[in-house]
Amino acid sequence: GAGVSQSPSNKVTEKGKDVELRCDPISGHTALYWYRQSLGQGLEFLIYFQGNSAPDKSGLPSDRFSAERTGGSVSTLTIQRTQQEDSAVYLCASRRPGVASTGELFFGEGSRLTVL
């Protein structure tokens, strides 16, 4: 597709269950970010992938959170043993190559996670 695609758009789960959120970046974009947007809050950085380099995981809030990016394209964010405070909109963004610091991010519409 032309834009960043995220699925599911909405996910309701019970506390303690694991969830997987998927991001399909724009074709050819080598950088991929995950952010979290809680209700009424700004965007919280989670993790960053750039090509084959080791990801920047400095924003992951706990070891229940992990992410991978297979084949330099699709990424999956996994949250294990979900807690109510994990409820948020999880946003994925990608950036085209060759514009590192100066390039703008292209965001998906997000996956809204509700933990009951």
Partner 1 sequence: AQSVAQPEDQVNVAEGNPLTVKCTYSVSGNPYLFWYVQYPNRGLQFLLKYITGDNLVKGSYGFEAEFNKSQTSFHLKKPSALVSDSALYFCAVRGPEGAGNKLTFGGGTRVLVKP
Is residue 106 near partner 1 by the rule CB under 8 A?
Answer: yes
58-77 binders of partner 1 (CB under 8 A): 58-59
Is residue 109 near partner 1 by the rule CB under 8 A?
Answer: yes
What is the distance between the alpha carbons of residues 84 and 23, in angstroms, rounded to a whole number?
A: 22
Q: Which is nearer to partner 1, 15 or 53 (CB)?
A: 53
Is residue 83 near partner 1 by the rule CB under 8 A?
Answer: no
Q: How many residues bind partner 1 (CB under 8 A)?
A: 25
C-beta atoms surrounding 106 within 10 Å: 16
Tokens 């993790």: give the residue. 47
What is the distance between the alpha carbons of residues 54 and 3, in angstroms, rounded to a whole number?
A: 25
What is the distance between the alpha carbons of residues 75 and 24, in angstroms, rounded to a whole number?
A: 7
Cα Rg for the chain, rounded, in angstroms?
14
Take residue 56 and report the two structure tokens written for it: 């920047």
Is residue 35 near partner 1 by the rule CB under 8 A?
Answer: yes
Piece in contact with partner 1 (CB under 8 A), picked from 12-20, 69-77, 80-88, 98-106:
98-106
Is residue 50 near partner 1 by the rule CB under 8 A?
Answer: yes
Tokens 């706990």: give the residue. 62
Give residues in contact with partner 1 (CB under 8 A). Answer: 4, 31, 33, 35, 41-43, 45, 48, 50, 56, 58-59, 91, 93, 100-102, 104-110
